Chain A
Amino acid sequence: MTSIAAEGWRLSDSVSLRPEPFGALAYDFATRRLSFLKTPSLVAVVQSLAASPTVADALASAGVPETERPAYLDALSGLAATGILTRKDGA
C-alpha cells in the first residue's frame, strides 16, 4: 500500500466538518455519507491539511508524535478512499 504522506490532500469541497466533543462529524453533501473523525487531534490534522504542502507536514504541524503517525496515515487514507479528502492538484 502506498502512503499518502508525501502527497498534498485537503478536505473535499462537498464536505462539512462539525466539531463534537469526541472529534468531529464529516458530512459529504455529494454522497450523503456521514463519517466520524474519532479524535480531536485527527480533526486538527485534517484542518491543517489545507495549509500544509504534504500530509506529513500536516502531521508535523499538528504535533503528532512520530510513533503515532502510521495510525494517523491509516485514518487519513480511509478518509481519502471515501472521498472526504481530495488530492490538492485535483488529479
Chain B
Amino acid sequence: MTITAERPATGRLVDLFEYGLDAPICLTWELTYACNLACVHCLSSSGRRDPDELTTAEAKALIDEFERMQIFYVNIGGGEPTVRPDFWELLDYAVQHHVGVKFSTNGFRITPERARKIAATPYVDVQISLDGATADVNDAVRGPGTYDAALRAMGNLRDAGMRDFKLSVVCTRFNIGQLDEFKAIADRFGAQLRLTRLRPSGRGADVWSELHPLPEQQRELYDWLVAHGEGVLTGDSFFHLSAYGDALPGLNLCGAGRVVCLVDPIGDVYACPFAIHDTFLAGSVRDGGFGHVWRDSALFAELRSPQTGGACTRCSAYDSCRGGCMAAKFFTGLPLDGPDPECVKGHAADGLAVAGARPAPSRDHSHTGPVRAQPVALTLQRRPPDRSCDESPLAGVR
C-alpha cells in the first residue's frame, strides 16, 4: 500500500489528478538513446545507444504489463526509435496487445514502404519532428538535411493515406514567428499541428538561454493558441501561459508522477519526459516491474501529496499556472516551489539572476565524435560545453 495523502472523492478533475491515478494517462517510453541526429536541444541528450538497453524480451514483458494496467497508448520516442532493429516488431507486438502507439521520429527512415505499413496498422500514430517552417531555421537546430527528410516523410505518409498524423514543433525564439507557416505545412500534408514547449532538459540546458521564446513571443504564442483552440495540440505543455488569462485547452497542471511518467531505454522510470535526472528517478522496471514503481515509489508519493507552491501562492495567477513546470525550474537552478523560469508575470527574473549552478546532468548519451547531420548554428552561438568543469561549484554560473 502506498502512503499517499488522503484523496478527496469529489472536486474539479484537475484537483483530483494531483493525487495521482492508478496508472498513467500519458506514458512516454524512450526506446533507445541511439540517434542518427544530434539536435542541439535534445531533451534526453541522445546520440549513442546505451549497452544496457532493454532487450526485446524485456520490452515485450513491459508491453504485457502496460496491457494489464490498461495503459491505452504509449508515446514512443528516443533517441530515434526506428534505429532499434526490433522497432517494427515491438510496434506490432504493442498493437496486438491493445497498447496503442504514437511514436516520434525525425522521418529519415519513414520510407514509402514503411509509411504504407504505418497507415495500414490501426492504433498507430506518428509524430514527425520539425523545429522550423523553413530549412534554415530548422536545420540550425536539428542538422543539415533534416528539414527535407521531415517533409519527405510527411509526403510519404500522406501518399500512403495516413491522416491526422502529427507535425510536432518545439517552440523557440526563431520559430514563434512561423506558427501560421507550420499550420499551413500541417494542412498541406493532412497532418495535425502539435506545438510543445522548449525545456532546459538534456542538451536543451546548454542552449535554453539562447533559444527559449522572449517574453513578447510568449504572449504571441498564447494569443495564437487561444485563437486556434483545440485544433492545435500542445501536449498540455504551455499551462504556464494560462497566467495571461483564460486557461488553454487540456490539463493545466504539472502531471509529473501523477498522470505522466517516462520509461527510459534501460528501464529507469522518471517522473516526466523532461526530467531525466537522478533527482526525479523513481525506480526501474527491472526491479519488480513498472506497476510497482508507479504505485509504490516514494518520489511519486511525494509528487502526489499537496504541494505548497511557495512564493507563487501569493500570486493572483497561481490557480491557473500552478507554478509552472518542475523540470524547467530544476534545470535552470530555480527552487521547485517558486516561479517557472518563463513566468509570464516576470516573477522568475530575480531568481534567475541569482540562481545557483545548473544541476549537472546525470546521464549523457550525446555523440562524442562528428555526426553526419551536425547542426551548424547560424543565428545562435553555442557555448563551449562546461562538462570539464562540472565538478566545480561554479560550473554553469556566468
Known A16-B72, A29-B72; judge A22-B16 contact (CB<8 A). Answer: yes
Closest B residue by C-beta to A38: B13
Query: Taking A29-B100, A39-B10 as contacts, is the C-beta distance between A21 and B72 under 8 angstroms?
Result: no
A21 and B70 within 8 A (CB): no
**CB-CB contacts below 8 Å: B3-33 with A:** 7, 9-10, 13, 16-17, 19, 21-23, 25
Contact status A21-B73, CB under 8 Å: no
In the complex, chain A residues whose CB is within 8 Å of the CB of B102: 32
Q: Would you call A16 and B13 a contact (CB within 8 A)?
A: no
B16 touches A25 (CB 8 A): no
Contact of B73 among A19, A20, A32, A38 (CB under 8 A): A32
Which A residues between 1 and 42 are near B, CB-CB below 8 angstroms?
16, 18-22, 25, 27, 29, 32, 34, 36, 38-39
In the bound assembly, the distance between CA atoms of A29 and B70 in angstroms comes to 12
Residues of chain B within 8 A (CB-CB) of A18 are: 22-23, 70, 72
Of A20, A27, A36, which one neighbours B22 at CB under 8 angstroms?
A: A20
- Contact partner of B21 (CB less than 8 A), chosen from A20, A38, A39, is A20
- How many A residues touch the partner, as a band? 10 to 19
CA distance A84 to B245 in the complex (A): 32
Q: Which residues of B contact A22 (CB under 8 A)?
A: 9, 13, 16-17
Q: Are B72 and A34 in touch, CB under 8 angstroms? A: yes
Interface contact B10-A21, CB-CB below 8 Å: no
The distance in angstroms between the C-alpha atoms of A39 and B71, with both chains bound, is 20
Question: Could you tell me the distance between the alpha carbons of A5 and B311 in the complex, rounded to whole angstroms?
Answer: 50
Query: Is A27's CB under 8 angstroms from B72's CB?
Result: yes
User: Is B70 in contact with A16, judged by CB distance below 8 angstroms?
Assistant: yes
Q: Are B7 and A21 in contact (CB under 8 A)?
A: yes
Q: Decide if B123 is an interface residue (CB 8 Å cutoff).
A: yes
Known contacts A16-B70, A18-B70, A21-B7; 19 additional CB pairs below 8 A are: A16-B72, A16-B98, A18-B23, A21-B9, A21-B21, A22-B9, A22-B16, A22-B17, A25-B21, A27-B72, A29-B72, A29-B98, A29-B122, A29-B123, A32-B73, A32-B100, A32-B125, A36-B13, A39-B10
Minimum-distance CB pairs A-B, first 4: A27-B72, A18-B70, A22-B16, A20-B21
A residues at B contact (CB < 8 Å): 16, 18-22, 25, 27, 29, 32, 34, 36, 38-39
Q: List 30 A-B contacts (CB under 8 A).
A: A16-B70, A16-B72, A16-B98, A18-B22, A18-B72, A19-B22, A20-B21, A20-B22, A21-B9, A21-B16, A21-B19, A22-B9, A22-B13, A22-B16, A22-B17, A25-B21, A25-B25, A27-B72, A27-B73, A29-B72, A29-B98, A29-B100, A29-B122, A29-B123, A32-B100, A32-B102, A32-B125, A34-B72, A38-B13, A39-B10
